[in-house]
Structure 1
Amino acid sequence: MKILDWYILKRYIGTFVTMLLLFIPIGITVNLAEKIDKILANEVPFLEVALYYLNFTVYFANLLFPLFLFLSVIWFTSKLANNTEVIAFLSSGVSFWRFLRPYMIGATVVCLGAFILGTYLAPKANKGYNEFIFEYLKSQKKKDRSQQTKDVYRQIADNDYIYVSSFSTKTKTGRDFTWEHFEGNEMTYKISASNIKFNAEDTTYTLRNFKKRIIGVDGDILESRAKVDTTFAFDIDDLTPVEYIAETLNTPELRKFIAKEELRGSSYINRYKVTLQKRLSLPVAAYILTIIAVAVSAMKRRGGMGANLAFGILLAFVFIFFDKIFGTLAEQSDFPPLVAVWLPNVLFAILAIYLLRNAKR
């Protein structure tokens, strides 16, 4: 039976790699056609463009690998079915479960690779990909919109909270700044300023119309100055991260970042959690889609490979539709990210079981 395993496994991996090599250049061509005007207008150096498309290749492969895997399994299994090879395998006494085993081995190999890619390699590629877009292809207005710039409220330590009513990512300046320090449930001092500016050259902050109030048992101590230069134990960019920041962190870093942002009360917290859950759910989705692909294409149909591919593409787009709808719902509302990300997998797992039982008959 090892011959059967190797026969199917080689086609599983080979067809998947071929599908990637076919579609990635198409993706690069479409992306370049869309962005070539802005690239030329901004006179982007050739090396920057080359690095961007290297990162885009990793980003594209990581984003759509379940779809490519699904279509590749349907493609080569349909060929096996049309050549009556599946019938020959099963007629020789091989059970359908035994026939499915090399597919599961192939899915394990691909999913391990995808897990490593999504956990460590894709975040680095995503960083370069997003930074290129942020630097060369976005207007300043869109850059500001990609960060929280209104009513920024953060917990920066166990007992310290800061707030600015508005923040400019271009000038690194905030308005109506306050810093409140608590001991237990009681505030012990408060710093306020009409304006705070981060000075990147020496990592200091300039506060204008500075006021400090120390709250004491016998009375408060008030201090005020027109201007104060000082240092704080936070970076203004860390307090207002760009919305794509989660995509650029590897999984251990992302877990720590989410824990820190939850304390700070970030409005993007659900978006970060969706990114984390998708990294875990995509490899599982590959298993589910592999089972569905085998169940759909192992039967010899009147329409041949074309019918199997049409049905497979329809299922793939339904899966992507559910994934996008529930992911967006979680990012824009209080819908639990865990449920939103894993629900399409659960629904398609039920479908996989149903199709597999029919295929066995």
Structure 2
Amino acid sequence: MLTILDKYILKRYLLTFGVMLLLFIPIGIMANLAEQIGKMIDNEAPMNEIIVYYVNFTIVIGSLLFPIFLFLSIIFFTSKLASNTEIVAILSSGVSYGRFLRPYLIGATIIAVIMFFMGMFLVPRASEGFNEFQYKYLKKGKQDRVTSNIFNQLNENDFIYVSSFDPARQIGYNFTFEHFNEENQLEYKINAANIRWIPKDTLYRLTSYSKRKLLKETEIVQTKRRLDTLFQFKINDLTPVSYIAETKNLFELNEFIKDQRRKGASNINTYVMVKYKRWALPITAFILTVIAVAVSSVKRRGGMGVNLAFGIGVAFIFIFFDKVFGTLAEQAGFPPLWAIIIPNLIFGALAFYLLNNAKR
């Protein structure tokens, strides 16, 4: 059951966090609008799409900054409690430091649950619209996927290859399809100058088509100038967009990663990193809460300014570690799980040290 102390701190915790979000997110929107308004006008972005984009922008950017806002808001209101000697009064009345920390952990739990469900279900949906708008109007002309030398394993028996892919026209060039039997022997091979998806007829059109079928020592060759046919894959499966993992919810992402592992995708670590980061965010909320309380609960000569400066410094160091290990995992083959664990272990150890120091 919550006591008066719990309700008092918890109310300040959630209220300050909410105000922090309400203050900084509009600033972020205005800064982004000022930077991108020229591109939006040049590319004739419709007003309704711009409005939807900034709704998605708020959700995506807000979720990314949740831990930092949480950290700074705790430092802000706890420093104020310390400067008013309220914390001294609370601890002098016989309340242990652990008991004083309890409402903060309750608040961190509430925020962590919100962060978890947002990250797993709401943010992916917003991320899809956010990225689509960016590549359509703000990064017009830039590719949102790999478009050359694309190799893909569809299942245990089928492999496809295209030398280049044009996502706008949904056409792949120098297409090859290979089918192997259960004994891992090539059964037939299809070649075409290009493969194109025809949405109207929901089929694929192959140009300069040839099929070589192997029957023991006999080779049967079939050629056609053009062939309309069906395949058990979608044209966009040739090369998913670079942000594809960010647009999938918890269950879709697990299935997507499983499917990409089976296909032997070269950038699998990028997808796995997205998954682990979502699971790590709630843990990060607790670690940063403990650090913020330990730092700001002590009354200092410099007051709130010193605590805020320290908090901003820690926030930037945390972001730096997160980016460095994330890049190592995506580009250098570093294990994605360790790329997530190491920064949290470092800051978890820092939280433990600062907490013990604050108790003394």
Question: TM-score, normalized by length of structure 2?
Answer: 0.97
Match of 1:327 in 2: 326
- Counting only pairs closer than 5 Å after superposition, residues 94-243 of structure 1 correspond to structure 2 as 94-140=95-141, 142-143=142-143, 146-184=144-182, 185-243=184-242
CA distance in 2, matches of 1:255, 1:137: 30
Q: Specify the alignment match of 1:317 in structure 2.
A: 316
Could you tell me whether the CA contact under 8 Å between 1:153 and 1:265 is conserved in 2?
A: no
Partner of 2:20: 19
Q: Distance in 2 between matches of 1:139 and 1:265?
A: 30
Cα deviation, residue 139, structure 1: 2.4
Counterpart secondary structure, 1:201: coil
SS at match of 2:299: coil
Q: How far apart are the structure 2 equivalents of 1:27 and 1:272?
A: 27
Cα distance in structure 2, aligned partners of 1:55 and 1:100? 35
Q: CA deviation at 1:265?
A: 2.4
Letter in 1 for 2:275: L
Whether the 8 Å contact between 1:243 and 1:268 is mirrored in structure 2 is no
Please say which of residues 295-304 and 173-182 is displaced more in the overlay: 173-182
**Cα deviation code 1:173-232 (max 9, x no counterpart):** 212211111123211111111221222222221212211111112422221222211111
Mapped to 2, the partners of 1:19 and 1:131 lie a distance apart of 28
Please say if residues 165 and 176 of structure 1, whose CA atoms lie closer than 8 Å, have aligned partners that are also in contact.
yes
Counterparts of 2:323 and 2:163, CA distance in 1: 32
SS of the equivalent of 1:243 reads: coil
In 1, Cα distance between equivalents of 2:194 and 2:46: 37
Corresponding residue for residue 8 of structure 1: 9
Aligned counterparts of 1:326 and 1:283: Cα–Cα separation in 2: 19
**Code of the aligned partner of 2:268:** I
Q: TM-score, normalised by structure 1?
A: 0.96
Hey, what's the Cα distance between the residues in 2 that align with 1:183 and 1:131? Answer: 40
For residue 348 of structure 2, what is the aligned residue in structure 1? Answer: 349
Asked if the contact 1:153–1:264 (Cα under 8 Å) also holds between the matched residues in 2, the reply is no
Count matched residues.
Answer: 358
Q: 2: distance between equivalents of 1:67 and 1:358?
A: 23
Question: SS state of the match for residue 342, structure 1?
Answer: helix
Q: SS state of the match for residue 344, structure 1?
A: helix
AA of the residue aligned to 2:354: L
- What secondary structure does 1:242 align onto? coil
Contact kept, 8 Å, 1:107 with 1:290, in 2: the verdict is yes
1:91 is matched with 92
The Cα RMSD (Å) is 1.2
Question: Which has the higher mean CA deviation after the structures are superposed, 155-164 or 106-115?
Answer: 155-164
CA distance in 1, matches of 2:127, 2:238: 21
Q: 1:134 and 1:217 mapped to 2: Cα distance?
A: 50
Q: Tell me how far apart the structure 1 counterparts of residues 155 and 200 of structure 2 sit (CA, whole Å).
A: 25
Which contiguous aligned blocks of 4+ residues in structure 1 show a shift greater than 6 angstroms? none
Question: For 1:147, what is the secondary structure of its paired residue?
Answer: coil
Supply the distance in 1 between the matched residues of 2:338 and 2:300 (Cα, whole angstroms): 36
Give the corresponding residue for 2:55. 54
SS at match of 2:206: strand
Structure 1 residue 158 displacement after superposition: 2.4
Further displaced range: 176-185 or 73-82: 176-185
- Give deviations 1:329-355, integer Å, cap 9, x for gaps: 211221111111221111100110111
Between the aligned partners of 2:49 and 2:227, the Cα distance in structure 1 is 40
Identity of aligned residues (%): 56
Say whether residues 1:32 and 2:33 are aligned partners: yes
Separation (CA, whole Å) in 1 of partners of 2:298 and 2:150: 58
- Give the CA deviation at 1:53: 0.7
Give the aligned partner of residue 78 of structure 2: 77
Q: What is the DSSP-based 3-state SS (H/G/I as helix, E as strand, rest coil) of the residue aligned with 1:44?
A: coil
Q: Which amino acid aligns with 2:334?
A: F
User: Which ranges of structure 1 fall in alignment gaps of 5 or more residues?
Assistant: none
Q: Secondary structure at the match of 2:272?
A: helix
How far apart are the structure 2 equivalents of 1:238 and 1:17?
Answer: 41
Unmatched tracts of structure 2, length 5 or more: none
Counterpart AA for 1:249: K
Deviates more, 1:44-53 or 1:210-219: 210-219
After TM superposition, give the deviation of residue 35 of structure 1 in Å.
Answer: 0.3
Over residues 309-329 of structure 1, what are the superposed CA-to-partner deviations in whole Å (9 max), with x where a residue is unaligned?
000110000001111111122
Name the amino acid aligned to 1:46: M
